[in-house]
Amino acid sequence: MRHAFRFLALATLLGSVTAFSQTLALDTPTDPRSVAMGESFAAVPGTPAALMYNPAGVARVKGLSASYAQRQYNWISWMDERRYQSVTVTVKTPIVTLGAMYERDYYGDFNATTAYSPDGTGTGKAYDHLLGLGAGISLGEHWDIGLAGKMFDRVVSNSGGSDFSLETTPAFMVDAGVIYRLYREAAENHYDETFTAGLSVQNIGTELTGRFSVRTLAMISTVATTMPRYLRVGVAYALTKQPAEGTGLVPFQLLLTGGARYLMNWAALGMTRNRVGVGFGADGLIYELLSLRLGVQKIPDNSVYVPATNDWTLRFGAGLSFPFRLVGLDTPLILQGEYAAIAVDDYLMFTDYIGPRPTTKSLLHDFSISLRYEADLIH
């Protein structure tokens, strides 16, 4: 029964190709650090996570990095397999820093059924996925700029045939962004300060088109899904205590962030309220080993989590890093694991058609593992 109900839910989600709320793989971050900090990273430089917020932020990423992340969406029992997964890779070259990301919104497995075989004819999978390629470059001390191209598509496949089918043509889009940076080095107390402000526009391009059919109802519908066009703005402040010797681990760093995401084409998408998402976050790093994070986010109606009674959600998280030089290895290699938790309301909106549904969890989890080589590989 769970698989049958899940199939009906998927048909509601995927069949509503015009439903804006189902482009979540396009704009749902999976990086636990940014998620724990209210998803307010439009002005944070030097992080691979910038590919989801502002491509200019990858300009100051060092060396080579690779990460895998997974964010849960299983707040209701019959969507217990739904999750977001991503892989991100960045590499610094002598001219620009290049980045690539792949993100998938996995709805889970379901039974493929027909009118004559209601118990199922096989298994199926459904997911949205996003592929992005970006580049960031520093223009002197103060300015970073970035550009990214993205492809977004929806896939429904099954092994045994079904009355339900969906064929799509991907959407192709471009992101562009800029970050302004002010840096002040205080030699007396070894504290450095960095202030940044960032702006980006996202998802400028074509729409996702789909051909949805139900064989037993002799129904065929060809529609286009309007992609959400975003304007992001943000600010960030970092206070860093530098090692007295100049070669040891950084004793302490504090990062404060704030940002907003505005839905520019809200009229075309029928968003009459809650068109702006706002987030704030704080991150304290101790000796490059342990990070503790806290954040809040005001949830817009197109978010992955839409509380039925409270627009704000609390997030928290932590990160553990292991620089290999701690064990005497002469290498800039760092292994890192990160975690974030999102507090959810007692009721969340499933879709506009179904309305609020009770949640089965009080926290939803996000985790990642990454490997960074913080030295230039290409000279």
What pLDDT shows up at residue 303? Answer: 62
What's the average model confidence in pLDDT over 76-103?
A: 88
pTM over 0.75: yes
Q: Which CATH class is domain 2-373?
A: mainly beta
- Is the model's pLDDT at 98 over the cut of 80? yes
The larger pLDDT score, comparing residue 106 to residue 151, is at 151
- Is the model's pLDDT at 7 over the cut of 50? no
d(CA 200, CA 215): 43
- Is the model's pLDDT at 147 over the cut of 90? yes
What pLDDT shows up at residue 77? Answer: 66
Q: Which of 13, 39, 25 lies closest to 276, judged by CA?
A: 39
Q: Which of 45, 139, 55 lies closest to 101, judged by CA?
A: 55
DSSP string computed for 257-321 = EEEEEEETTHHHHT--S--EEEEEEEEEEETTTEEEEEEEEEPPTTSS--BSS-SEEEEEEEEEE
Token duo for residue 24 = 């979540």
Confidence of residue 190 (pLDDT cuts 50, 70, 90): confident
What's the average model confidence in pLDDT over 107-128?
A: 63
What's the average model confidence in pLDDT over 367-375?
A: 94
Confidence of residue 324 (pLDDT cuts 50, 70, 90): very high
- Is the model's pLDDT at 167 over the cut of 90? no
What pLDDT shows up at residue 378? Answer: 72
Share of the chain above pLDDT 70, in %: 74
d(CA 29, CA 24): 9
What integer best gives the mean pLDDT of the chain?
Answer: 82
Locate the domains of the chain by residue range: 2-373
What pLDDT shows up at residue 305? Answer: 58
Q: What does the radius of gyration of the chain's CA atoms come to, in whole angstroms?
A: 22
Max distance between CA atoms of the chain, in angstroms, equals 80
Q: Which of 38, 24, 10 lies closest to 296, judged by CA?
A: 38
The larger pLDDT score, comparing residue 80 to residue 64, is at 64
What pLDDT shows up at residue 215? Answer: 56
- Is the model's pLDDT at 13 over the cut of 60? no
- Is the model's pLDDT at 319 over the cut of 90? yes
Q: Which of 215, 250, 255, 258 lies closest to 40, judged by CA?
A: 258
Confidence of residue 272 (pLDDT cuts 50, 70, 90): low
The larger pLDDT score, comparing residue 251 to residue 309, is at 251
What pLDDT shows up at residue 131? Answer: 96
**Terminal-to-terminal C-alpha distance of the chain:** 59
What's the average model confidence in pLDDT over 168-181?
A: 94
- Is the model's pLDDT at 90 over the cut of 80? yes
Cα separation values, 376 from 62, 98, 143, 184, 353, Å: 7, 13, 21, 25, 52
Confidence of residue 273 (pLDDT cuts 50, 70, 90): low
d(CA 265, CA 183): 35
